[in-house]
Amino acid sequence: MAAAGSDRGVGAPAGTGPVAVRRCADACAVRPRLTFALTRQGREVPLTVPQGAEVLLEAPLPCPGVDRRREVLRTTALPFGCVLLDGLEQWGRLDLFAAADGYGAFDTDVTVTLDASAGGLSVADAGRNDIDVRGGLTERGTGTLTPTGRNRYTGGTVLVQGTLVAGGKDARHGDVRITDGAPGFAERLRVRGAYAQDAGTLEVVLRAGRRAPLAVRHWRYRVARRRCRCGSAASGHLPRAAPCRSSTRRGCAAGSPGSR
């Protein structure tokens, strides 16, 4: 995971910058207008995405493919029971504002492949929705992916290739495994299961007065060449690589400079 250059898609770069603030304001303005502020009635009925609706996401989500775009529409849809929206084909339940920011849930395991050579959003993409449920995320390819929602999915995260940035504020994941590629942390990430890194370098920045960017319940060491770098944001200095160690189960990211 590392710095991203996009501002939308499986998530977009998070933060408190002008784009993030504007997006939050837009969401607050759009939400009541989607349902005309009318009271929802009745039971929940799963959405069957209307035939051909996936073409509406070809511009904001060019990478996932037809089936994935339909899944994005399904997981971000408005609930059943909103007056005026529950027509026969249920077009009114599509929430295109949320869908433009990627998946709303991982009901099954999801694989995202970004080919940086294709340019555009394949170079750097993001997903800003809050994702939960039991599925997991796998990234492949050469691009950069930055999920930025308050994610709570339990299926785990696997980085096979590319760059994966944990950009969601206080996100909580299941197991995390890095088989190759570059992991990074723009915001705090809590790994509720095990963190395993087979190759590469784990780099984190320690900021004075702030919580550790990475908190891990269980470390699993797999190869001797894996290294952890802990740097100071104040000095901009990144010390010589040292093996990851943890006596607090939070890893070197949670340690003081003297414990590197």
pLDDT value at residue 129:
92
CA-nearest of 222, 172, 215 to 197 is: 222
6: in domain: no
The dihedral built from the CA positions of residue 184, 104, 176 and 210, taken in this order, carries a sign that is: positive
For residues 27-40, one letter each, b for 16 or more C-beta atoms within 10 angstroms of the residue's C-beta and e for the rest, the string is eeeeeeebbeeeee
pLDDT value at residue 253:
39
pLDDT values of the chain reduced to their tens digit, one per residue, 260 residues: 333 333 344 433 344 467 677 878 888 888 888 888 888 888 888 899 999 999 999 988 877 789 999 999 999 999 988 878 888 888 999 999 999 999 999 999 999 999 999 888 888 888 889 998 889 999 999 999 999 888 999 999 999 999 999 888 778 888 999 998 888 887 888 888 888 888 877 777 777 777 778 888 877 655 434 455 555 444 333 333 333 444 333 334 333 333 33
The dihedral built from the CA positions of residue 235, 238, 244 and 245, taken in this order, carries a sign that is: negative
DSSP per residue, 180-191: SSEEEESS-EEE
CB neighbour class for 247 (10 Å; exposed up to 12, middle 13-18, buried from 19): exposed
Residue 74: how many other CB atoms lie within 10 Å: 20
CB of 203 closer than 8 Å to CB of 184: yes
Number of domains in the chain: 1
260: in domain: no
Amino acid (1-letter code) at residue 86 = D
23: in domain: yes
Prediction pTM value: 0.75
Range of the domain at 148: 18-253
Q: How far is CA 121 from CA 58, 144, 162, 244, in A?
A: 12, 9, 14, 33
Residue 203 belongs to what H/E stretch? strand 201-206
pLDDT value at residue 243:
39
pLDDT value at residue 42:
80
8: in domain: no
pLDDT value at residue 158:
95
179: in domain: yes
211: in domain: yes
Tell me the C-alpha distance between 143 and 200, whole Å: 16
pLDDT value at residue 173:
84
Amino acid (1-letter code) at residue 62 = P
Tell me the C-alpha distance between 194 and 6, whole Å: 29
133: in domain: yes
Tell me the C-alpha distance between 136 and 167, whole Å: 16
DSSP reduced 3-state for 93:
helix
| Residue 245 φ/ψ, nearest 5 degrees | -135, 150
Q: What does the block give as tokens for 137?
A: 């995320």
82: in domain: yes
